[in-house]
Every structure is written in C-alpha cells, then in structure tokens.
Chains A and B, each alone.
Chain A
Amino acid sequence: MPILPTTNSKTSRGGYTPLLVVFLLSCFLLTSTPPVRAQNTENFLVQGKNALSTGDIETAATLLRKVPHPGVHGDDGSFAQSRMLLARMFFSVKDFAQATAVCQEILQFYPDNQEAKNFLTSISRESSPVYIQFFQDTIKFLPALAKGTVMTLFLVLLTIIISPILGLLIALGRIGSFRPVQSLCWFVIWIFRGTPLLLQLFFIYYALPTFGITLQPITAAIMGLSLNYSAYLAEIIRGGIQSIDYGQTEAAKALGMTYAQSMRRIIIPQTYKRLMPPIGNEFIALIKDTALVSTIAMVELMRSADLLFNTYFNITVLILAALIYLAMTSVFTLTFEKIETIVGAYENR
C-alpha cells in the first residue's frame, strides 16, 4: 500500500524519460485498480468482519458503519453487505430496534433488496410476543399437520371398526369347544400380543413381499394395526364374556336357547358396560400407536410433524402435534365415558 504514493511523489519531482515511463505506468495502474476510497471502504468491511470474528462487537459496529453509502462512489455492494452484517449482529444480541433501522437503511438505497426485506420480517417475528409468534407458526404449519391428522383419524377409525369384530371372533373361537379353532385363536393372540407392533408393521410391509405379497403402505398399516388390536381386544372380550355369571347362561339354556342365541341375546349384551373402560383404553393407545406406521412410508400426523420439524426446527410443530393428539384422545375418553353410562343404564335405573 505505501508503494504507490511513494512512486507518485518521485515522478512529480523528476523530469527524465525513465521516470516518465514509470509515471505513465503508474497512471495506467491507478486507473485500472479500484479507486483509493473504494479500497478504504473495502478495508472497513474486512476490518469490521475481523472485529466481529474476535467478538469485539462495538469496534465492529463502528468500522461497519464507516462503509459509505453507494451514492458516494461506485456501487460495489459493500454498503449492503456491511449493513446486513450489522443487522445480523444487532439481531444476534436481540437489539431489534437497531437491526430494523439498519435494514431500512439498506432499503432506502436498494428498495428491492430481498435479503433485507426477508430479514425485516424475521426481526418483526422474533421481536413480537411469544403468543403472536405461536399464532403465526400455527397458521403456517397447521394445514400440513391437518392433512396428517386426517390420515391418522382414517387409520384409527378403520381399526376401530375392524378390530372389535375380529377380536370378538377370536374371543368366541377361544371360548368355543372346537379344538383346532381354539388353537388357531390362541396362536394368533400369542403372536400379535407377544411381538412389538413396530416389528409386525415391518414384517407386513417389508418382509411379506419376499413371499410374493406386496402391499400398499396404507393396506399394510391397517392390517398391522387391526391384527395387533384384535389380539388385545380378543382377550378383553373373552374376559368380559367369562365374567358374566354362569347362571345367565343356564337361564338362557333353560329357556331352550341355542349357544349362539344365548351369546347374542343374553351374554354379549351384558359385557358392553364392562368392556367399555378397557376398550376405551385400547383405543386411546391405538391413537398414539398409529404414529408407528410413519416408519412404513405412511404420512400421518407424526410423520407430518417430523417432516416439518426437520425443515424448520421450530418446536411449535411439536407442540401442535401434541395438542392434536391430546384433542383426539380427549374426545375418545369423553365418548367412552358417555357410552359406558348409556349401555350400563340398566344397572342404575
């Protein structure tokens, strides 16, 4: 840096040819290199960056502020750069007023600067109260989560329809006196109650294709959930049926009822009230267990939340997902309490 001025001073004094050549050369060099002022502003930017990297925020701020407006000399982008750096710096120390002012300074000269605009919205977001932030995030994330929720509800409803029917059949098979059916039902319960649901889902989705059975993720998910829950419900229903006083069966028999008639008309209707609390429990567990099907390429609530969280690292996503699960389980809890009082009304009236 000190070389050029020195050369300059020499040429101004001397009058002979070699010096003239040097002078002309210098003039050429001077015109082809950035202007001296510009070089200085560059220095402020570099120095400011250096100061920032050492953590000396005040020096950095002073230096960066020295980078002049683009109107002062040619536009090399250093102004916008320095002010963005300043804005981020203020933002990081939560001085939102200063950060906003700096951003607006950029927009004064570059009204279309997208970076500054985006940053201003980030600042306003960050500086607004938590509940407004949460509200804004909710509006942003809810549509995607809602889609996932619809899928979760669909899985839950289908399983709730299939598993009690299948569970009742397995329970009746287990109670009945036909040995092969008894053994088969025992086996199904043994398998599906004795292994993790996650493993069952993997098996149905990833292992069955080996045996030539390829299923859509949704089919595999419904199969896995239904079979697993049927096994649990079968045991609950069996317990319910066997808890009914044997006298009821005898009274039905004494009237001349067949086994099927006594089950359908007398025994099973009496189990409803007793079955509601444990079945309600199972269905609440089911709502949460649907999260497991996210592992077999199903995009339901948990998977939607997972995807959003991995994109935005915003915990609002997780809070929202939790609230949606809670809402679903609460509805089930209340519904089952209501059903319990309705089907058990005969005991109180």
Chain B
Amino acid sequence: MKTDKTTPLIQLSGITKRFGKLTAVDNVSLDIKRGEKLVIIGPSGSGKSTLLRAINFLEKIDKGEIRFEGTRVGYVIKKGRMTLDKPSRICALRSEIGMVFQHFYLFPHMTVLGNVMEGPLTVQKKAPEEARDIALAMLDKVGIVDKKDVFPATLSGGQKQRVAIARAIAMRPKLMLFDEPTSALDPELVGEVFETIRSLAKEGMTMVVVTHQMGFAREIADRVIFMEQGTFIAQGTPQEFFSKHMNNERIKNFLDKIL
C-alpha cells in the first residue's frame, strides 16, 4: 500500500452526483494533500456541500472514484451499478474523517462530555476512563471544559459548534470536513469558532472548509476553490485567487453579493 507522504490523503476523480434531473456535482476531480487546508466557496446550490458530503459517503455518488491514502474505497460495482461498500467498511472510513455541520447536530440527550466521549467510546470501543480523558483534553483544546457537565440545550451557538469540533477531533481523524460551520451563528459568535478552527489548522490538520467568510478563507486556506453549478470554476492560492480571479465575472458577481 502506498502510504508515503507524497500520496494525496484523498483523491477524488470524476465525481458525479445527481438528484433526479439536477446534477449537483458534475465530473469533479480533486486531490487533497496531507496537511492541506482547502476552502471551497461558491453560491448556494453550487454543489459545495454535496461534494463535501460525498467525501465521507453521506452522499452516495453516481459516478467517479474515491481513493483514501491511495486505496480505492467506498464503492463496489454490483450488476454494473455503483453500490456502497459493506457498512462496516464505510463506518471504518468515516471514523477517519471528522465532520462539522452547519447546525451542529450535537446529541441533545447527552452532556457536553458525553457528546465528545461518544465516538471513542462507541465507535473506537475505548474504555470509559480513556474516552473520558480524551474528551476532556479535546474540550480543553476548544476552551469549553468548564461546560462539560451541561446539556447542549443551554449552550450558545458558538459553544455548541466548538463542542461539535471537539466531538469530531476526539476520533483523531486524518481529515476534517467543515460544512459552513459559522453560517448558523450570530455574527458575534463566529470569531470563537474560527479561532478554534485556526488553532486546529496550525497543528497541521488536513481540512476542507465550505464557507462564505472570505476573510477567513483568505487567512487559513492553502488553496481556494470556487464552485458553481457542480463544477470548479477557478482555484488557486488565496493570493492568486483574490487578485487574479477577481476579474472572473461570475466570481466577481458572487463576491460582490456576499461582501
């Protein structure tokens, strides 16, 4: 198995996803290197979230190939059709990829600590004490360890999202996916979440972020991709992107609208 440092962590090639007649992601190919911070921007309905969700198989793709650390994963061909691999394999893959959702989706019936412990405990079958130690360390990292015994209902949006990040990184994932992590937050709460993501980025975590926050994109991204109608319109480093591609009519329109 080729797992040397030069192999991209994730390779997507020719990904196509349709919802009925609508093609949400249209023949997209993308390599994500270890430690890379990739930001995907674009108008809503452009397929950003769908692409992100295809990476951890929450969205079943119709065509294409996904390679994780060089190995083709996730799908098998049955009777000429692409079918998801055995559930146990899919689960194993997902446990290597953390995901943070726009609407947090914390488990409301568990305390903050319970939420963060859940992955190590149930999925990785760690001992309760070990899971607890990991969870406390993660809560400390996102700066919310003092809230460990409360239920999510009492937290602010920013606190919830930080707990959700702690829950994801408690699994020690190789890749983090952020699906508009600040879109559901009040503007004054955006900062604390970005701060948390920024510190993760500094530790060298590989991440794909879908966001509308251009300032943040420019700050953390190694590469920015502009997506529209299921395809990549443009990509490049933030410097390239926000200077060169500003001339592109569609990107200009989009940026004018949101800035």
Contacts and interface: CB of A to CB of B under 8 A. Distances in A.
Which of B95, B109, B171 has the largest number of chain A CB atoms within 10 A? Answer: B109
Nearest to A264: B122
A131 interface: no
Contacts of A266: 107, 118
Contact of A255 (B103, B151, B154, B171): B171
Interface in B97-114: 97-99, 101, 103, 105-110
Contacts of B107: 248, 251-252, 266, 270
A112 interface: no
Contacts of A71: none
Given A248-B105, A347-B153, A253 B58 contact: yes
Interface residues of B, number: 32
B119 A258 contact: no
A245 B101 CA distance: 13
A255 B118 contact: yes
Contacts of A181: none
Contacts of A261: 122-123
Interface stretch (B6-14, B84-92, B136-144, B249-257): B84-92
A2 interface: no
B56 interface: yes
A175 interface: no
B167 interface: yes
Interface residues of A, number: 22
A177 to B, nearest CB: 11
Interface of B: 56, 58, 87-88, 91-99, 101, 103, 105-110, 118-119, 122-123, 150-151, 153-154, 167-168, 171
21 contacts: A245-B105, A250-B105, A251-B101, A251-B106, A253-B94, A254-B56, A254-B94, A254-B168, A255-B119, A255-B122, A255-B171, A256-B91, A256-B92, A256-B93, A256-B96, A257-B91, A265-B118, A266-B107, A346-B109, A346-B153, A349-B154
